[in-house]
Amino acid sequence: MSARLVVETLREPARCERYDAAQWNALIAAARAEQIIGTLACRLDGLSLPVAAKRILDDARALAEVGRTLALWEAEAARRALAPLGVPVLLLKGTAFVAAGLKAGVGRSIGDLDILVPRGALDSVQDALLAAGWEWVKPDPYDDAYYRQWMHELPPLIHRDRDRMIDVHHTILPLTARITPDADAIIADSEALQNGLRVPQPNDLLCHAAAHLFADGEMLGGVRNLWDIHCLLEELGTDGLEARARLHGLHHHVMRAVRLSHDLYGTDIPIDWRVRDPADALFKRRLLARDGWGRVRPKWIEHVFYLRGHWLRMPPAMLARHLWTKWRKGYHPVG
Amino acid sequence: MRHSVSLKIGPVGFRIGSDWRVPIAALKDLYRDYPAPDDGIADFNVRLFAARFWRRFIRPSVMIGGDYIIPDAAPLPLEMGLLAAEMGMNLQMALGQRRYLLLHASAVVRDGKALLMSGVSGAGKSTLAALLMARGWRLMGDEFALIDPMSGLVYGFPRLISLKNAAIGLMRSTLPQGRFGPLMKATPKGNIRHLVPDAQAIAAMETPARPALILFPTFGHAPAERAVDEAEAFVRLTQASTNFVGLGQAGFDTLTRLVREVPARAIDYPDTESALRLVEDLWSATA
């Protein structure tokens, strides 16, 4: 599987000096599919590479740099819109990594702007964003009601001029999930950036990354999300991580993330965390399920994790109702 | 994937994979004189695949995939597999090209200087480029012109020329010796038939040229010509570029330099004869 090639190359960049054309093609296709080619390009910078590969990676690095600028500008736009409210605004995921200057942000592709605000401030945040030019994306009333009733974020908003999406979270997992992280603690213990925006403290960044990877959704982009975790662990260490993970009810997921990061990326972790868990193999299989054309292979594993993602998100009766509604509207998972 | 081919168009390498033999065989035939990607490493991957396994065999329909995709793109019947491959390659360029400022324009070269023709679909870019090729100009491409941010030079992208509807018959009679692909009827864009660029175009496909004239042709009006100032050319070309925004400041600088250095004209034409006359007159007057 070529996702393994991506992982091994990230872990040990010098390997790529021995790759043949077929390996390069597989590496590039899989890295693009996993949206980690910018990170890969930064890791391989300075090595002696075939000219054609170097050109592709130079482009990817330039693109990541433009993406970084756009992400920071989008955060600044949100800051200006929300500053008058006087509520804490936390950056999450990719934007948090680049705003805080973390290694996990180097070359990282960043799509939407993800922010976390206190749940009690949601209405005023929503109004301030609408007044500043953001608009609703989802016209479907079912989708809108679904977000508002069950999700951990407002329905997505898009800015009418800049065409960029913002996800406004009030916690880090759906309300329907069986785990309820302590969003108040994440906000209370967050760290201020110079411009007044905030980022979660290191262990919360890790807890969120692990929650995002294992407790939410279908493990799309797992290679990248696990790379985030590897970089955070290497740079910020593991002090107090277990206790913090327990506080959020995420101990199980954080420990799995740490083990897999150690296994795949060689992250240095405490000896007593290096235990065997038979289920890790399946998660690893899903993480590495990407072939040399950028396709998810084997295909069955995608369906397994699609169902698992929904199972984690909601109780069975609710899940059945949701999938029935979506199916009638013509939604089918296709890869 | 089961079947695949790698080829280079202009400075861009592609690897195209398919669940079926037929589209790959057609590509191998029509692109037989094109080189392989540098170092065997493709810039972009295109995948032609069946949405469901049985769709390989029963009413086979081709989904277009690749490094960059549009979600919910409609599949094409297998008879249009070649069109699907071309659309897949265009899509990679439109969504993924970052090395060059990409302009939706045809380009031809005479005496080492390039003429760019940009217009909406149906303005006659492809047809005019093909006709100029038949009159001895070097074809750089009928769909995309690539502007190098460093040098300001234009690089060609001489893919198969996509002829639509009436242009098919016109080019068949203009170039009876030309190599044509299969006629694909009733595609989403009407009847389509591909024309292989001539030997000159393929041999020099990696040679850039200094842009010398930009034209904005419009079909269906009495012959007319007017100057287009820098600001209007800039705005029109931002709309004709898929990666102007994505390139950030490099895109802005490249396009600004292009419209400052290169004169631009808008032309109206009622038929191809008068278009060719207009183009060649303007070329001798300005370039």
Domains of chain B: 3-96 (no CATH), 101-286 (3.40.50)
Report yes or no for ipTM above 0.90. Answer: yes
Q: How confident is the model at residue A215 (pLDDT cuts 50, 70, 90)?
A: confident
> Smallest Cβ distance to B67: which of A20, A22, A29?
A29
Gap from A92 CA to chain B (nearest CA, Å): 23
> Does residue A333 lie within any of the structural domains?
no
Residue B162 pairs in a beta bridge with: B194
Question: How big is the CA angle at B247 (ends B243 and B249), to the nearest 5 degrees?
Answer: 135
A110 pLDDT band, cuts 50/70/90, is very high
- Say if the Cβ atoms of B1 and A293 lie within 8 Å: yes
Highest-confidence segment of A282-296, A297-311, B19-33: B19-33
CATH code of A144's domain: 3.30.460.40
Is residue A317 over pLDDT 80? no
Enumerate the residues of chain A whose CB falls inside 8 A of the CB of residue B68. Answer: 32
Q: How far is A287 from chain B (nearest CA, A)?
A: 19
Using a CB-CB distance cutoff of 8 angstroms, which residues of chain A are in contact with residue B248? 66, 69-70
Mutate to test the interface with B, among A16, A17, A28 (most CBs of B within 10 A): A28
| Residue A334 located in a structural domain | no
Residue A237 lies in a domain: yes
Q: Is residue A263 in some structural domain? A: yes
**Could you read off the pLDDT of B84-117 as tens digits, one per residue?**
999 999 999 999 999 999 999 999 999 999 999 9
Q: What's the pLDDT band for B250 if we cut at 50, 70, 90? A: very high
The 10s digit of each residue's pLDDT in A20-79 is 999 999 999 999 999 999 999 999 999 999 999 999 999 999 999 999 999 999 999 999
Residues of B in Cβ contact (< 8 Å) with A32: 45, 67-68
- Among candidates B37, B49, B68 on the partner chain, residue whose Cβ is nearest the Cβ of A52: B37
Tokens 């100009």 appear where? B137
Count of domains observed in chain A: 1
Selected residue of B24, B41, B45, B242 to mutate for chain A interface (largest A Cβ count, 10 A): B41
Choose among A180, A200, A177, A179: nearest CA to A93. Answer: A200
A40 occurs within a structural domain: yes
Mean confidence (pLDDT) of chain B? 95
Instruction: Write the DSSP string, B84-145.
Output: HHHHHHHHHHHHH--SSEEEEEEEEEETTEEEEEE-STTSSHHHHHHHHHHTTPEEEESSEE
Residue A323 confidence class, pLDDT cut points 50, 70, 90? confident
Is the predicted pLDDT of residue A249 greater than 50, yes or no? yes
Residue A335 lies in a domain: no
d(CA B160, CA B157): 9
Select the residue of A56, A63, A70 nearest B43 (Cβ to Cβ): A56
Nearest to A69 among B37, B41, B248 (CB): B248
Tell me whether residues B15 and A63 touch, CB distance under 8 A.
no
Residue A35 C-alpha, separation from nearest chain B C-alpha, in angstroms: 10
Size of interface A-B (CB pairs under 8 A): 67
Q: Please report, rounded to a whole number, the percentage of residues in chain A having pLDDT higher than 90.
A: 77
Mean pLDDT of A265-285: 94
> Quick check: is A56 in a domain?
yes
Say yes or no to pLDDT of A333 above 60: no
CB atoms under 10 Å from CB of B212, counted, come to 20
Full domain range(s) for residue A111: 2-328
- Calculate the average pLDDT of chain A: 92
Which among A29, A56, A66 has CB closest to B246?
Answer: A66
Q: Which of A118-122, A279-283, B122-126, B141-145 has the lowest mean pLDDT?
A: B122-126
Q: Is residue A286 part of a domain?
A: yes
